[in-house]
Amino acid sequence: MNNELRKSNTIQNFKAISSRERSGRNSGILGVYSAQLKNIKNGTQKVGVNLTNNDEANNWLRNILTTNRLTVKNYKDRSSKTQDIFKVHEIETIANGSINACLNALNAIAAAGSNIKLHKLTCSAIDQQDFGASNYQLKLVLKIYV
């Protein structure tokens, strides 16, 4: 997974923050990483979206997840608040699918533009002993500025 994230054309500044051994039934190494999503450009035109309200943001995110063949397991609006002249919506979601589906969804989110920020991301194998490429879980918290 780490190598796939490093190779992704939309991830930059990927680095390990910490790691520790995890004991028990799902033993292994737990790593925490830091990265930034690049804004993708198509030629000279920026590929992006302009979301104007929370409903549009919810529909946009659900569409990205399902279009990229991820199964949404949990979805909730965490909060809405005003910051400067923007209204900030925070959305949390958990979706399952292949590692490629997770990376494709991240690429689509990175292409969205400047009013969408990836606040938190966890992408991990559901089976911590198998690490099969078709069985991953993507947890996201997005901040959407409208």
**For the residues of 73-116, what is the DSSP string, one character each?**
EEEEEEEEEEETTEEEEEEEEEEEE-HHHHHHHHHHHHTT-TTE
Q: How far is CA 34 from the centre of its chain?
A: 13
Count of residues in the chain: 146
What's the predicted TM-score (pTM) here?
0.71
**pLDDT higher than 60, residue 21:** yes
**pLDDT higher than 80, residue 123:** yes
Q: Residues 73-122: pLDDT tens digits?
A: 998 888 777 877 778 889 999 999 998 898 889 888 887 777 788 888 88
Q: Domain spanning 2-145: which CATH class is it, in words?
A: alpha beta
DSSP 3-state percent helix, strand, coil across the chain (nearest 5) = 20, 50, 30
Domain ranges in the chain are 2-145
